[in-house]
Structure 1
């Protein structure tokens, strides 16, 4: 899955990425069409017969062909022209590129061993054996071989091939005109073996390449189906898409144009963040081994309830996400949008689709949260309308504000079945739990899309095949887009009787659904959503608090929990004793100094009471000198003792203060200890009170415990009540989207906000024949995604379907069965 953001590239990045894309680009031209698989794989109800047309075995007259089996009718013929062995491709490539070293030749013989048949082109024939020119597909391989042999690999490009297709179209049209000129226009003119030979020579000359060992000119495939399926003899075959000009499809390659668009973008210095991640290996320091202790701790951290997606699909309440499913979902949303590429791997049946459904639900809930903040439904649009052009028609549509975009979800795959499995199965009741079957989202529209057959009649849907909501649709190729458009927007006949027949069967086109809407108003739906979201948030907070309490208490005792406080008290007690001892020493020092000071003062007084006589001082006798020296020493001693006594008294004061502070700290620490003990008891009480509410929740005691079946199967924090609340929130989100659509989708004369014109634009865009301006196409696609949240397509059709959209236009891209496709298949979509 990817999230679309763009980044700028350095010159080194540009060079390296262009090298990768150039390699893919050249490879794409040389991927052969697998003719053998086409001639061996078909629908169970089809009967197919093959006739190998060679120079020795020409095509028999169509009139001489055996009739189809009893109860069958001819559906069509397909002619595969210029059949040759795939090994010819290897030989031609060696001729063009050189033999290489012996080691390279050995490696190539192992890597590029091609087996089976391929061909130049495929053309359909009608039931009379006449060419249907508007259903011609051509392989790039013969043309690429011819160009490479003549002009080298660098001559290969989508534009040069497009020009070559134009030239071929002219040649084919001239061929058919010449062929028809000699025929009677009033009777069928089936193609003959000589004309097939001529057509093959035309293809050989056009491609500039002719196989060396050409034995089979063509293979004619007769396709018949049960007669009852051919309900309308005038109805054109499904594969036919008539047009005024001959358009040639590519038979074997779908990604050349996509890759060239990416290369152009890269050369301009910009690339989507998703594609950049796709083309760059992560460094070892960016990776986490989930089987390591660090990895297990990461898993546990990512699975906290506060990281849980609020939206949850309509699963049965006893169906829980496995540990790694929930880890994948949480990680995808946690890393968005910084890490724009996320891979989920697993064998079939391991719940990858289940995981995607929760991501779909979460994105719908997130957009609903934005809607719930509006006072009026129309506030979702920018003030100024946009004038758009589709074909030759102009109209004004409303443009969504940026906060309501980025939620577009596209499921793409190279596997058609994988795409259909998601987009066609999601709307069925089989995809939701039975307890949620009353749930609906545009149900009548979804029922019409599912039940209406191509001939306009309704098929009866029963049981789990009945739709619950228009949550997704399969688009992609032109036929799918037209099919969805016809069913979504129109009845087969514009008569009141047809409308009544459909509505009596529970089927409505989108316009009638909007007109008949009788659900809650937008304001009521906003309030209901907010209430549902509040209930989920309260339950999540309670669960997170409960888990935090368990983490605090499961592996601790009260002594463990209060260890910091008891340790602090012990340290303070020791400090108090040390300070007391120091204070005692200071008191003793002060007393000793005071006694010594008093003695010295007394000595000074006595000495001064008996000074030497006048003449002794006058003549400085020995006695006078001794007196002066003794007095000076006593005075100095007194000064020193006074200073020491002052400092000791200061130290004593400080010690007293510190002792008082320690006493206060001891009191506070004991208070903290009692508070912590009380909190411990409160936590135990809270756990006891909530144990019934969260009875299945038990955190792993060790990191390795998450590898056990208990946690792997049921996840870490299984809670059915929370799952139900999250699903109710998803339900409220869908209801809010319905209320919003009903409000803004009404005709403006009935108070609508003009979104009806957006829906008309969607209808026109799905069948457009001319390119739209990118900003116009983006606004219309965003309108469709507001109504149908998930769209699926094959990669082969992705580029053409979203051809006008630029980088980062689609919010989310989900690549299903990615391992089944070639790496370049995803480049354009990314």
Structure 2
């Protein structure tokens, strides 16, 4: 068995062991006695359907029985008080069963199977579960009436018998979650098929019952059967086994940074906003839209809290819309982009054909996926909000100026809120209710102009849309060339400056040489004149001396050799001779110097002319650079820009080589790209037919064979209309069941650090490219599989240690194969992260400083805004509240004294803010969170009788929990209640601080203030918490 198969088999087996208990809402009912009220027996309310969960078992009890059966012990850090139900199903508004909605808990089934067989090597076959679910489905269908209490008891007994679980393992219990059934407005018509509200109620009900069964097992099983060595997903699966080579630290490699910030790497389109991405954001965007240098089409981004991950997505959307518009503009007619195909067994003539889009268009569809349902839904809702688009460089996206931009009415209907939406940019899909909402808004809704109606109205002019787009496209390309020229000229300025300095130095040298020779010449001439004068004087002296000698002495001079005058005359003549020789030599020297002067003068004039040329070029270049500085402002990226880039805050917040003019052009191009898409869609019969087929397919039409043949092409057509769709990983196996391998466009995974590595397999398998965004230094994946069981499976499949780590996530695997990233150092070792985002815009200090120090090696920069006027805060400053006490024990780490203080503070916040406060209460431990939740509800119920009690419960449930509850969320203030005492909880405290993750997440939920409640003597000795303790106490002393 090869490595990929071992890993897939390991993940496949683990995925069966996830206990689930339905979340309590204000519409939740609990029934365990015959005289309890069953809602559908009292009143048939067509507004609601019902999720019914049977049985209740303590997860830890079942796990302990299982571990005992295979001879192992549970070594959990804290007591697991979670519960699990046994099975679940759905009922229609009248209390009758929804066919094929029954599901047994894979957790309970698989654990019961191990207990029964006393063997970890039990074969977990999905076919066996499918058969069991089918049998339960048949039992429920046979009731053929409203379900009564006795029916629920009977189904519970049948399930317990079928899974061979002892009755003392579980108790009979019924949890009913009432769900609002959003009806489609009026009669709905699809060519060839008529549907009415009540008649089609069962088809509209999502048959999935939350997270009772594994949503990943079927995809893992499918992939392990179909995967081949050359598949792109293999690198992802085997990421931790691949050799580490050619990694580039993109956050400090200036040459690589410059490469990825060159104009040809930037998106041609820009999202409507006056704000530009920061330096590392822009690098991540440019890398994300490129296919260069990535291993099997996977690229990862390290996105800590508050670093603008949504900005990243927006700019990628703008880029993709424009890039696809460029391709669309090349078609003479929109239908030229499609190839007609025929379904094998259509229901009627209207559904006979579908149309395959050109493959070049498919890569630009975007699927945003996450484990976090709220995260993906929030992204889809946020993208088209009209008020945000008003803060842009143009008025094209301002709905005060343009009431219809890009299917705006459909977008507003789809979002279903009071917010104006400028365009149909995104849609929440995945689960059936979301699909129904899209069908309704896009195709059927009579309260807005739906797509079917638009096809009947006057169509946009296709040729005009193409011409307008192409003209603006050329403007952007021209400006891009101007920017490239600016970069080249700026880079050349360094060369020009160097050449100018060199020429200046050469000119000065030549000038100095000429002056030096002139000085030597002048000195020689001066010496020549001196010699001439000296000879003249000596000659005069000789004449004078000679005149003083008588004739006799002149005639008989040999007799008067020692005569003073004769001797003096002799010496004078000798001096004259010597001076004459010197003068001759000087004459020669002067002639030579004159020649040298002529040469140096010619050289100087030549060098000076060259210098003057270089000076002119230099001055022109300086003037040009000054114009660039004015043109690009803070985004002007000369050599100074890159100095000490890791610590250079002004450069890190900049977006090199962009400006308002360029951003405006790119925004306009994005707008005209959307207009081109709109014209393409409405002028295409192929698009119309494909959407009609897709709606029918979602409504249950078409055979399995036709779904396999057509779905990929139909959903890719939807991407032409809606550039972004979002889904949870949990919905992928059903929503995208019929999508081809690599048949869809780009997958963007959000909060990938919180996703188990196998949860993304189905989405990765079906897309051709992935951009994975998250932070392994935040909340790690929630893994409920007992450690000993996980260890046993790992041994069984010969899985190496790195794959056994419970913190292993999609992000870690993606980072491992991303050649572009950065290293961070921790006490437990060095970690390689994907392309890092480093400008933080959420938290004030000390939350930011603590997070930055413990998690990011102080490499982040804070650009967070102060609270707006009128924001009322409970805490005057952030603080550590030192409260000691005894924890409850038996792995329950709640300290009552800390709980009392927390309740006191929460009640103060209620009073101060005159209502539900903008405040979270967070703990590292479930036991602490559960205790404080319970006590808070009792206290708030008691003190605030005029509040709706359900609203209080909802607020507590939403505002209080473990760090996992708050991933991706923020509040003005946070209370972190630590729990633990020195005697019983030291091990748990050390576990919480072993890595920075837990404290990092808790701290970065707070925008303005944080209060940590804990035993200072215990927690100041715990890694990471020790820094928080010192920082908060230092702040208190300063105050």
Matches within 5 A, 1:349-748: 349-382=306-339, 385-389=340-344, 392-393=347-348, 394-434=351-391, 435=395, 436-438=397-399, 443=405, 445-448=407-410, 450-451=412-413, 465-491=419-445, 502=447, 507-517=448-458, 519=460, 521-553=461-493, 558-559=497-498, 561=500, 563=502, 676-699=614-637, 701=640, 702-705=642-645, 707-745=647-685
- Separation (CA, whole Å) in 2 of partners of 1:765 and 1:73: 25
SS of the residue aligned with 1:60?
Answer: coil
1:168 aligns with 2:136: yes
Gap change, CA 1:142 and 1:221, over 3 Å in 2? same
Distance 2:647 2:207 in 1: 60
CA 109–802 in structure 1, closer or farther in 2 if over 3 Å, else same: same
Q: Which residue in 2 is equivalent to 1:86? A: 59
Compared CA separation, residues 390 and 337, structure 1 to 2 (3 A): farther
CA separation in 2, counterparts of 1:780 and 1:487? 18
- In 2, distance between residues paired with 1:225 and 1:743? 38
Cα deviation per residue 1:758-809 (whole Å; 9 max; x = unaligned)?
2322222332354235342222222221222211111111122221222211
For 1:250 and 1:705, the matched residues in 2 are separated by 46
Counterpart of 1:313 in structure 2 is 271
Residue in 2 that maps onto 1:456: none
Paired residues of 2:63 and 2:111 also in contact (CA < 8 A): no
**CA 1:310–1:129: 2 relative to 1, 3 Å:** closer
Alpha carbons 2:410, 2:442 under 8 Å: kept:
yes
Among candidates 236, 258, 268, match of residue 276 of structure 1: 236
Q: Is the 8 A contact 2:384 2:425 kept in 1?
A: yes
TM-score w.r.t. length of structure 1: 0.69
1:822 alignment partner in structure 2: 756
- Structure 1 unpaired stretches of 5+: 1-13, 100-104, 181-187, 454-458, 493-501, 575-663, 746-753
Residue of 244, 250, 253 corresponding to 2:214: 253
Indicate whether 1:341 and 2:298 are aligned: yes
Summarize deviations over 1:380-430 as a string: whole Å, max 9, x none. Answer: 234xx2112476344223332232222121111121111211223323314
Quote the Cα distance in structure 2 between the aligned partners of 1:259 and 1:156.
13
Partner Cα separation in structure 2 for residue 258 and residue 719 of structure 1: 46
Q: Following the alignment from structure 1 to structure 2, what is the Cα–Cα distance between the partners of residues 74 and 740?
A: 39
Shift, 1:729, TM fit: 0.8
Within the candidate set 683, 692, 696, 1:764 is matched to 696
Correspondence for 2:126: 158
Are the equivalent residues in 2 in contact too, given 1:83–1:120 (CA < 8 A)?
yes
Judging changes above 3 Å, is the alpha-carbon distance between structure 1 residues 828 and 488 closer, same or farther for their aligned structure 2 residues?
same
Q: CA offset at residue 236 of structure 1? A: 6.6
CA shift in 2, pair 1:567/1:395, >3 Å: farther
CA apart distance, 1:168? 2.8
The equivalent residue for 2:776 is: none
Aligned to 1:50: 30
Query: Is the CA contact 1:310–1:365 (under 8 Å) kept in the aligned structure 2?
Result: yes
1:265 maps to what in 2? 226
Q: Distance between the aligned counterparts of 2:763 and 2:409, measured in 1?
A: 30
Match in the other structure for 2:259: 301
1:17 maps to: 4
CA contact (8 A) 1:445 1:488 kept: no
Residue 75 of structure 2 aligns to a residue in which SS?
A: helix
Shift of 1:282: 5.9
The answer to which of 302-311 and 424-433 deviates more is 424-433
Q: What is the aligned counterpart of 2:713 among 753, 775, 779? A: 779
Rate the CA distance shift 1:733–1:568 in 2: closer, same or farther, 3 A.
Answer: farther
Mark the CA change 1:328 to 1:744 in structure 2 (over 3 Å): closer, same or farther: same
User: What are the Cα deviations for residues 508-561 of structure 1, in whole angstroms up to 9, with x where unaligned?
Assistant: 111222332454x222222222221222122222223223333444x6784555
Q: What residue is the counterpart of 1:633 in the other structure? A: none
Higher relative contact order (CA 8 A, sep 6+): 1
Is 1:122 the equivalent of 2:73? Answer: no
> Partner of 2:343: helix, strand, or coil?
strand
Change (3 A) 1:134 1:687: same
Q: Quick check: 1:134–1:246 contact (8 Å CA) kept in 2?
A: yes
Q: Which residue of 1 aligns with 2:837?
A: none
Shift of 1:121: 1.1
1:796 aligns with 730
- Give the SS at the match of 1:824: coil
Q: TM-score, normalised by structure 2?
A: 0.56
How far off is 1:696 after superposition? 3.5
Matches of 1:230 and 1:765, distance apart in 2: 20
Change (3 A) 1:201 1:290: same
Aligned residues between the structures:
652
